[in-house]
Structure 1
Amino acid sequence: MTQQPKRVPTILGRGSWPEARRIADVLRKETIGGALLLAGAVIALVWANSPWSGGYESLRDFAIGPEALHLHLSLGTWAADGLLAIFFFVAGLELKREFVAGDLRDPRRAAVPVAAAFGGVVVPALIYLVFNAGGATDGWAIPTATDIAFALAVLAVVGRCLPSALRTFLLTLAVVDDLLAIVIIAIFYTDHLSVWPLLGMLAPLALFAVLVQRRVRAWWLLLPLAFATWALMHASGVHATVAGVLLGFAVPVLRRDGADGPGLAEHFEHRFRPLSAGVAVPVFALMSAGVTVGGLDGLTSALTEPVAIGVMAGLVLGKPIGIVGATWLTARFTRARLDEGLAWIDVAGLAVLGGIGFTVSLLVGELAFGAGTVSDAHVKVAVLTGSLAAALIGTVILRLRNGVYRRLYEAEQVDRDRDEIPDVYQS
């Protein structure tokens, strides 16, 4: 009897065709969102450093909302606490769908991006602490997050021919990264905890969960419950964006009748992703990225502060080292190898894009040092500079690799059957 050769496990292998199509659809939407995000940040920077900077500050600090409900907040706070809750709601939906119905429901496939996300959190935090030992250690979590919209937008523009497994890897890495950021915010950046609002939050959250489990889609029922969950979370002292993730996790992924096809989570994702990428994140960038640089001397002074150096080093060096290192260790301990045709330089290029920490990094900076403080201004300059550097370096690497995969991509486009599915996904 002939002995079958032992199958060598692989990492970052090609996923299913439906998953590849879904990831491509997400990339198209996030490309627009990333452009709007960048536009919001540029407008904020130019406005804050113009003769009309007073108007920017007045707009950001303008308060609105019912005082009776303790929701008389500035527009900047509404953007950070309210609009970003939509962003994290979509992230929660994406993560749950990926692990319940996506290719990552296989633990062996999920282990790589999850391990990479953890590595991309631990190493940047350690690098930041090295530069700020005995100083502003509260900002250790600033360089640990990856901006989904910005990173995916860069990948969509420069990596159109990259294998879908790499796109799935970056998307899952960024989503898990943001989930870890939410956990960090909830645990380490909650100064005052009010127990009764936190317990009261469970009631609307539970009712929301019951309704969505019954596949109720009525917005006039679900939105008030979601708002009540958010408002009570805000009143409890825990950052209100945590409510977005909890609400996203409550939504079921699979259809109630067990048939194939999009479930409620995918339905909500299609509805809310344009709102998240096109409105929530760009408006947050507009309200948060405005920092007075003070000319070349002011920029140089800001970037030479230990806080800024730690943030930039964490984003540009820590994220790639952590992501690539964790991925390599996973392959080493599982005795797996990269899927055929891939190279470690591909992983390195994606890891560099992981250093784009725009949205959540700005949020953590405000929580760590307080909005409007000198340290917060240094954080904003460092996050903008580090994220831009990571985007440029990642663009160069992935642009070069994109050409390598172009011929394979064109072959797949030609070699399609009548069902429009490339043969490589059917083998």
Structure 2
Amino acid sequence: MIIKSFKKVMLLGVAGVALAFSLSAYAQQEIKIGAVYPLSGAAASSGAEMKNALELAADIINNGAKGIPNLPFSAGGGLPNLKGAKIKLIFADHQGNPQIGASETERLITQEKVVAIIGAYASNVTATSSQVAERYKVPYLNPESSSATLTQRGFKWFFRTTAHDDLFVHNFFEFFKELEAKKGIKVKQLATFNENTLWGNETTKLEVKLAAERGYTMTKTITYPAKSTQLTSEIQSLKAANPQVVMESSYLGDAIMAMKTYKELGFSPDMILANNAGFTDTEFRRTLGKDSDYVITREVWSPDLAKNNPLIKQVNDLYNSKYKADFTGNSSRTFTGLMTLADAINRAASTEPEAIRKALVETNIPGNKIIMPWKGIKFDEQGQNTYGSGILVQIIDGKYNTVWPFDMATKDIVWPMPKWDARK
């Protein structure tokens, strides 16, 4: 009888296939979620941290986390509205390649029969990967990619929990304004130094636009090829332009190479103002040591914000005890993304894609239930979390310290950066 019913479902076409996936996952008491991340290649270090965050979130949902009662699913035992069904993560390595990201997403949907996708960190990979999920009508939860256009495509199945670059770049210019008003530090000459994929190119456009609108001089605009093997000529051009502040968007390998080249060429602007990514990877500080100090980077998370939200320290301690490192802005968002997706699947009480999509639309998680310094998670009609926000942190003595907004700061800003030959 069960076999006959299943055959009947299969005759219903694409909708039937989706329902069959859902019935299969439920029958096995297992919720398969596809995770598309850079597990090899230039961003492998970042990918490894995000993979760890996903595995921690799944472990909490499946097995619990004692002593953290305010964290959703901390009691363990799987998803209660699906009779304790456990989360099973199926990982795929996109290697930083948009085409591989797309093909791996299709494999996860058609062969692994996942009920949802989470990923994919790099905005250009998220763009192609999510197109596949949209075509197959499978929910796609994006925790980290910040290209503003990702939620401007009219997609029905795409949801993003992080804030985006439109907000983050506006934050940079609000920071400059408050820096003058509250600290007496006047910034006028800027330069941009960004990688040339979707993320870097869109960031450059917005930075140039806002600089012109707000009366700043853009002394140089440089986009360099992603995964470059050297940046000497580009940084020589930056140095010749003599900006006060370099606004930089680089993934890990490029960020490390840029800092080494700045030092080699003796280039010391007043500040390097980074747009997250490589500058917030644990490996950035580990590789550069003291040479990473004084950089200011856009962030969404910092351990020193635990004074405002006990969950930040409690969950970070769990992560640290397991992986011997703190969360980063990337991995904390990834953790939050899976917890959000699990919340939707649980409220849907179903693994049917449309039910999960509907539950995501109705998401309204308060800020005291997440580890991010946000008001919460609530999606608009484009699938963008309207409660996301950003902060600025500065690396001092090898640690990230919140320095803006000034009313949230845990340490005074160091400005300008000391010259290379004046550092201890």
What is the TM-score normalised by the length of structure 2?
0.29
> Could you say which structure has the greater relative contact order, defined with CA pairs below 8 angstroms and 6 or more residues apart?
1
Which has the larger share of strand?
2
Which has the larger share of helix?
1
